Structure 1
Amino acid sequence: MLRYVGRRVAGLALVLLIVLTLVFFMLRAAPGGSAEAYLGMNPTPEKVAEVERRLGLDQPIWVQYGTFVGNLLTGDFGRSLFSDRPVIDIIAERLPVTLELSLIAFVFWVAVGLYVKGVLPSSGWVHFGDDPVENLRTVILPAFALGLGSGAIIARTLPASMIDIAQADYVSFARAMGMPERHILRRITARNAIIPTATVIGLTATPSRRRTASSRS
């Protein structure tokens, strides 16, 4: 058992090293560079040289790679180019939220998987004309999986649109005229927020129709 776990851990470490190596050299081969990204558009050559010297980018590529791997092994992930904070501190701030979401999602989907076993089929399809009830049972899970991503986009679009519209001048004018807040929300904010939301719904539905047509052909 320990030997199996050791092999798995070693394999994971090797894959991680390969991925990090590929990312390192791909970033170095990309147009521009870290110094230009840090300084913004049209930096002076003097500023670029100064940042490259501070970040060690003026060293030979194999020296940069050795420093990169050595820093990772010691837990030094460097500093963010955008906030100038240690990357390890930024990860530590966001790690609890990530772990909590991952754990809750894991528990949720395990519960769903155990619940639907024997209730909803995991594969197959029955024509609606042959058995309408069985047809619905076969399409519930794949339809839910396909619509989950688009549903998340729509769920973010509608509140964002309502927040933007609530700050518009005509909404402030309606409040100044003494219109009740519930009427403003229902008659002005909600109605106008539906327009960009309907656009997003149309954009997300169009690729689905194209994929369905291509798969049938």
Structure 2
Amino acid sequence: MLRFVVRRCLLVLPSLLGLLVVTFLLIRVVPSDPAVAMAGDAATPEQIERLRQQYGLNRPIWEQFVSYVGKVATLDLGESAFSRRPVAVDIAQRLPATLMLTFCALAISVFVGVPLGVIAGLSHNAWPDYLLRVFSVMGIAVAAFWFAIMLQLLFSMELGWLPLRGEISATIPRPPRITGFMVIDAMIAGRFDVVADALRHLVLPAVTLSLGGLATIVRFTRAGVLDTMQQDFVFYERAMGYRRWRLNWIYVLRNSVTATVTQIGLLFGGLIAGGVVVESIFDWPGIGSYTVQAILTGDRQVMLAVTLLVGVVYAAVNILTDLVHGVLDPRLMERG
């Protein structure tokens, strides 16, 4: 298994390098001058030129790229042109909020989507199957920004049940930062009022972010169950008198979730990338809102760093997904 992980990690490096090349070139294609944006409208040409020299913007593109890759190799993601702080520091401060939102959205997608997919597969062509198929199509088709606004209008502005935006109420003192995860830090500090308030703020963005993944998992689990139900071992175990719940929720489910596990792995990276819109709408202090701010201000270092971060997350989750596949079906690990 160690050999498998090492080989996969080595294969990831060319992919990340290619991602950097494409992102670096695309950002440079945009007709904007970061030095002009940083200097402001009242800046003189001399001030703009000094900024170009300071950030190396006057050098050839290939030289800028080689310099950037060299810094990334030493875990130096550069300095934000607008916050004047290291990008790595900004990301480290905002990443826990994004991970908290992503984990919650993924948990909703998995723990709700897998059972619904099994139910849809077991009730093939019955009314629950038709209903869940309609839901899965709508879940994939609905735009996240529209769904987020509808949830805000209903649960925040109309009913007043849940907060409209933010990670925590402005009137509640924040607990000391230890892990960066608001709920965990509040529990460590014994601030259960903060825990309750943070969970209330988490509900709407997590549900919004989970919608597309939930619908996808329902579809893939349903397809896996339908395929497994046609296998010989299912007919044999039925003939042997296995209890229906044990057969369906243990043996059929275990042999049906291979494709679902793959989708779960892909969803994790997709949720981080897709959280850009959701975090902006709910004013969530994570990587997504940070990225939107960088795009609006033309902060290239931040855009490159966030893109690289998402690529690393995708790579890591794919390796983890392959390991889970090996646990579910050891034959896959033997094939390498």
1:70 aligns to what? 70
Give the match's secondary structure for 1:80.
coil
CA distance in 2, matches of 1:73, 1:160: 48
Given the superposition, is the C-alpha separation of residues 132 and 70 from structure 1 closer, same or farther in structure 2, using an over 3 Å criterion? closer
Task: Give the deviation of 1:157 after TM superposition.
Answer: 5.5
Please tell me whether the aligned partners of residues 121 and 138 of structure 1 are also in contact (alpha carbons under 8 angstroms). Answer: no
How do 1:155-194 and structure 2 match up within 5 A? 155-156=151-152
Sequence identity percentage:
34
User: Which range is displaced more, 80-89 or 19-28?
Assistant: 19-28
1:139 to 120, 134, 137: 134
- Superposition pairs of residues 1-217 of structure 1, within 5 angstroms: 1-41=1-41, 43-121=43-121, 135-147=130-142, 149=144, 150-156=146-152
CA distance in 2, matches of 1:2, 1:133: 44
| Per-residue Cα deviation, 1:61-114 (whole angstroms, up to 9, x for no partner) | 333222111111111111112222211111011111112122222222111132
CA distance in 1, matches of 2:128, 2:66: 62
Larger RCO (CA within 8 A; separation ≥ 6) = 2
Counterpart code for 2:92: A
**If the length of structure 2 is used for normalisation, what is the TM-score?**
0.41
Indicate the SS of the match to 2:120: coil
Query: Residues of 2 paired with 1:145 and 1:89: CA distance?
Result: 35
Give 1:14 deviation, angstroms: 1.3
Matching residue's letter, 1:21: V
- In structure 1, what is the Cα distance between the partners aligned to 2:60 and 2:143? 47
Amino acid at match of 2:101: L
CA contact (8 A) 1:121 1:137 kept: no
SS of equivalent to 2:17: helix
Q: Number of matched residues?
A: 157
Q: Stretches of 4+ moved more than 4 A in 1?
A: 131-134, 157-161
Larger Rg: 1
Residue deviations 1:44-76 (CA, integer Å, cap 9, x gap): 321211101111222333332221111111111
Structure 2: state its 5+ residue gaps: 159-336
Q: Could you tell me how far apart the structure 2 residues matched to 1:132 and 1:117 are?
A: 14
SS of 2:57's equivalent in the other structure is coil
Amino acid corresponding to residue 27 of structure 2 in structure 1: L
Residues 121 and 52 (structure 1), Cα distance of their counterparts in 2 relative to 1, 3 Å cut: same
User: Using the alignment, how far apart are the partners of 2:157 and 2:44 within structure 1?
Assistant: 39
Partner of 2:191: none
| Structure 1 CA distance for aligned equivalents of residues 93 and 41 of structure 2 | 30
| Aligned partner of residue 80 in structure 2, secondary structure | coil
The answer (yes or no) to whether the contact 1:35–1:48 under 8 Å persists in 2 is: yes
For 1:148 and 1:24, the matched residues in 2 are separated by 29
TM-score (norm 1): 0.60
Partner amino acid, structure 1, of 2:71: N
CA contact (8 A) 2:52 2:58 kept: yes
Q: 1:37, CA displacement in angstroms?
A: 2.5
Report the 3-state secondary structure (helix = DSSP H, G, I; strand = E; otherwise coil) of the residue aligned with 2:76.
coil
Say which SS state the counterpart of residue 84 (structure 1) adopts: coil
